[in-house]
Amino acid sequence: MMFMKRGCHENLVELKMGGQSWFVKVNYYHSIHGCRFSAGWRQFIKECQLEIGDTCLLKMIDEKKFVFNVSIVGKNPLAVLSLI
């Protein structure tokens, strides 16, 4: 997530799916040159009923406010839930 190197407002991103939104904190770690979701992520997982093996596709739709549309690809790669 290169945008995190520039910094984002309070390290929050907005994830949108199916007419709903979740605010999730993102922490950038210089040691691994990457990011991890923290506060708000478990709620997103629970409400979206994510399971191990599911893949979330994030498409940035607002670079200034760090808003992403989310699509979920289930364990079956032919079953794509694009609830955007």
Token pair for 51: 């399971």
pLDDT of 11 reads: 81
Token pair for 27: 């922490």
Instruction: Round to whole Å and give the CA distance between 69 and 31.
Output: 28
- Residue 58's domain comprises 3-81
pLDDT digits (tens, 9 = 90+) for 14-58: 999 989 999 998 887 777 777 778 898 999 988 888 888 888 898
CATH of residue 10's domain is 2.40.330.10
pLDDT of 26 reads: 85
Q: Which amino acid is at 39?
A: A
Cβ pair 41, 24 in contact under 8 A: yes
Instruction: Give the number of domains in the chain.
Output: 1
